Amino acid sequence: MSRTVISLIIENESGATSRIVGLFSQRGYNIESLTVAATQDSSLSRMTLVTRGEPRVIEQIMKQLNKLINVLRVSELTASDYIEQEISLVKVACIGSKRDEVCRLVDIFNAKIIDATPKMYTVRLFGDGNKLDAFVKQVEQTSEIIEVVRSGVIGISRGEKALRA
């Protein structure tokens, strides 16, 4: 069951996303994460989808996605070199000496405090899933985590390769 990151270009119209999500539930495929937003061409949306499955299932997923009328392009990012990024916003309760410790972790993880009150920090962090997990794990050792928001993965292929409509 290998983790697969799929990038799609779809028509930016109502119902397009539900057809993709519906396809996954209808055919019993997993969705680990899904992000979608309009591109520089407002008639198109770009979607990054993370799934898991045997090679045979992944092949079917790619074909089934291609078959949807609203889908223009489908590319398996994990099939070659690619970059993936995720953003995480973490609200941490911290007072007194805890504040310094959280600040140190923020430094180590190259994150940034983007909001603060006397009782809490809101931290922004970029990276891949492992890094985001590691940060939360470390913070938990010292402070109470109030809230974690993750954007889901976005990805793009490395080098000259591009996915265009």
Partner 1 sequence: MEMLSGAEMVIRSLQDQGVERIYGYPGGSVLDIYDALFQQSSIEHVLVRHEQAAVHMADGYSRATGEVGTVLVTSGPGATNCITGIATAYMDSIPMVLISGQVPTTMIGEDAFQETDMIGVSRPVVKHSFLCKNVEDLPTIIKKAYYIASTGRPGPVVVDIPKDIMNPALKFPYEYPTSVSLRSYNPTQQGHKKQIRKALKTLIEAKRPIIYAGGGAVWNDTPALIKQLATHIGCPVTNTLMGLGVFPGTDEQFVGMLGMHGTLEANKSMHFSDVIFAIGVRFDDRTTNNLEKYCPNSTIIHIDIDPTSISKTVNADIPIVGYAHNVLTAMLEMINDENLQNNKADIETWWKQINEWRDKKCLGYETSEESLKPQQVVEAMYKATNGDAYVCSDVGQHQMFAALYYPFDKPGRWINSGGLGTMGFGLPAAMGVQMEFPDSTVVCITGDGSIQMNIQELSTCLQYDLPIKIIILNNHALGMVKQWQDMVYKGRHSHSYWDSVPDFVKLAEAYGHVGIKVDKPAELEGALERCFSLKDKLVVMDIAVDELEHVYPMLVKYGAMNEMYLSKTERT
| Residue numbers at the binding site for partner 1 (CB under 8 A) | 10-11, 14-15, 18-19, 22, 26, 56, 59-60, 63-64, 66-67, 69-72, 165
d(CA 37, CA 77): 18
Instruction: Provide, rounded to whole angstroms, the least separation between the CB of residue 1 and partner 1.
Output: 19
Strand order in the sheet with 2-11: 33-38, 44-53, 2-11, 71-76
Q: Cβ closer to partner 1: 72 or 103?
A: 72
- The residue behind tokens 């996303």 is 17
Q: Cβ closer to partner 1: 22 or 133?
A: 22
Q: Cβ closer to partner 1: 72 or 156?
A: 72
Q: Cβ closer to partner 1: 55 or 140?
A: 55
Residues contacting 54, CB < 8 A, separation 6+: 1
Helix (H, G, I), strand (E, B) or coil at 3: strand
Instruction: Provide, rounded to whole angstroms, the least separation between the CB of residue 42 and partner 1.
Output: 15
